[in-house]
Amino acid sequence: GLFVNETSSDYKGFFGMAQSSTISNLGVTNVDIIGASRVGGLVGYIYESGSVTNCFSTGIVTAVEGYVGGLVGYNGGNISSN
């Protein structure tokens, strides 16, 4: 699994940010991720037409300030079939 413990940093996940990109058919298991804000198991922050399709994550995801999700911490793009 993936382990990240950076409580003073934003944009934490397997990918920190996904800008104008496509992430598809990917899974991450047994993550343990702690960050400040915009923290996700797969992606911390999706924006500018970024997309996640047919992906999953398992484990523990924690944000000490806000914007947290098991798959994506903050979505400004598109998530489908997950």
Q: What are the phi and psi torsion angles at 10 (to 5°)?
A: -95, 175
Q: Which two tokens stand for residue 45?
A: 């922050």
Answer with the residue of higher pLDDT: 81 or 70: 70
pLDDT at 5: 98
Distance set, CA 27 to CA 8, 36, 65 (Å): 26, 23, 26
- Chain position carrying tokens 């996700």: 40
Q: Please state, in angstroms and rounded to a whole number, the distance separating the CA atoms of residues 61 and 57.
A: 10
Q: Please state, in angstroms and rounded to a whole number, the distance separating the CA atoms of residues 1 and 79.
A: 23
Local confidence band at 74 (pLDDT 50, 70, 90 cut-offs): very high
- Give the model confidence (pLDDT) of 3-47 as tens digits: 999 999 999 999 999 999 999 999 999 999 999 999 999 999 999
